[in-house]
Each structure stands twice: as structure tokens, then as C-alpha cells.
Amino acid sequence: MTAVISHPDCTLHQNGTGSHPESAGRLGAINNQLITSGLDCVLSHYDAPKAGKHDLYRVHTREYVEQVFRLAPQQGYTMLDGDTWMNPHTLNAALRSAGAMLKAVDLVMTGKHSQAFCNIRPPGHHAGKSRAAGFCIFNNVAVGAAYALEKYDLQRVAILDFDVHHGNGTEDIFSGDQRILFGSSFQHPFYPYSGADTDVPNIINLPMPAGTSGEIWQQAVAQQWLPRLDEFKPELIIISAGFDSHWKDDMGGFKLLEADYAWFTQEMVKLADKYARGRLISCLEGGYDLPSLGRSAVAHIKQLAEFQS
């Protein structure tokens, strides 16, 4: 069975007092679609533990981690950057989100599950070594990858990010680390206005223009990512699953459909079976149009679980 890892604390984080696209409704949209699809009953559900500071220090500077703890408000709100806020529940939510990846790594590395999906917020892929950005506080996938490298003595971990925005935080953390192969497909030029000119051997970015269709995106993945992944032979695959690349999500300009996420997931499952004993972890990043987010996440998780309705 495929594991789904989440925690109620993740629903309590709020980005300021007004409406904000990164809302608790995102997790509910996914959970509701899992139930409607009939998939929920064939998944194993786990509560995310809290990551410890030592887990965060593997990928973030000590100064940054201490700053986040220090700024966490007892009441009201604190702004970490123009898009990223903390309320009194945010620190716990962020620690649970990072902790979900630790739990996922343990589950797949010990063989209890082959695949896991972390249904968490705040997201993480814009959080760099020493700063928050773009709704992200701690870099969840980076925390998980670094933990897997250290605890399980892995030598090769692949991280693939299909969010419509460049995973600049993950790139910042792992640029030049030959144990990590990182690929981000993203709209360019677009926020965070990075990644298109990266020339580092372990980074395989796919910058593409607004209006990119699923067909064009699949071709790029097949031609540029899949051969590199075959060469790399990852012992663990991690996906930064940002569903804001869907055509109905106005946070970006890509034209992907549920079928594109299903295709990509199938390809990653094949690679995981071939090189990583099936070990595959996916972690929620973006996705802000709630109906398409729910449908897309379920299409993705169905392929992880190889579920036939």
C-alpha cells in the first residue's frame, strides 16, 4: 500500500489576515478527492512527526533556523518575506511538513511502503539555505533527501520538481552536490526569475515558455530528464509535486492536464522499480485552483498506488 502522510497542524497555518492562495483548503481538496475516487480506502495514513532542529541544520544554516524559531509569533502575524507569513501555528505546521518527509523516508527505506505522498503545507521548494520565499519556510524535500543520505548511507538521490515555478531553494541547497540529481521544469521568464541559466552538472532544469502544453512538456521530460536519470541510477526518487502547472491554475501559464501528471508518475515509478527498489516519495508543493488540485493529486497518487477504480 502507498502511504499518505499529513497532520492537522498543517491546516492551522495562515498567510496573513486576508485571502491568500496558499490556504488550508488545499489539503482538504486533496483529501475530498481521495475519498470521492475510492482511493482513500487503499492508502495507509500516517501522522507527520515534527522535524527537529538537527534535521533542519542539514540543509539550512543554523542562523536561519534560529531566526524562524525566534520570529514565530505567540499572537498575530510575522512576515518572513513579501509572500510568506507566520501565525502562532505556523512553526508547528512547518516542522510537521518537514517531518512528513522524514517519516516518508523511513517508511520507504525500511520497506514498509514503496511509495509515499506527503500532503502537507507550508510547501518548501523556494526555501533556500538561509531564507524563506514564495510561501515556503523549510525546504521539505531537501530535509528528506539529506536525511536519507545520512541515515541510510545513500549515494544517489534524484529530486524532480514539476511545479510551474522554479525550485530555486532546492537548487540553492544542492547545487554542486553530486549525490543529488535535481531537475526543475518551470515557466520562464516567471517567478522566481531563476534557473534558466544554471550550468551545474547535477542540475537538469527545463525552462519553458508560458503556454507550454502537456505534449511539449512530456517531450522535454522524455528527451532531457529520462536519459539522465537512467545514467544516474537513483537509489531513491523524490518528487516536488506542484500542481499549479495545470491549465486551470491561474498562478502560472502552463497547460498541463491530469493525464500529464499520471504519465510522469508512471515514468518515475518505472525508474524507481528499475533502480531504487521501488522507493518513491512525492511531496506537495504548489497548486492553488482547488478543483484541479484535487483531481491532479489523485491522478498522481493513483499511479503511485497503481490503483484501478
Catalytic (active-site) positions: 126
Please list the residues that pair with 117 across neighbouring strands: 4, 282
CA–chain centroid gap for 241, Å, is 5
Amino acid at 171: E
Determine the Cα–Cα distance for residues 119 and 211; give it in Å rounded to an integer: 28
The full DSSP string for 107-166 is HHHTTS-SEEEE--SS--TT--SS--BTTBSS-HHHHHHHHHHHHS--S-EEEEE-SSS-
- Report the alpha-carbon distance of residue 1 to residue 63 in Å, rounded: 40
Dihedral sign (CA 20, 298, 234, 245):
negative
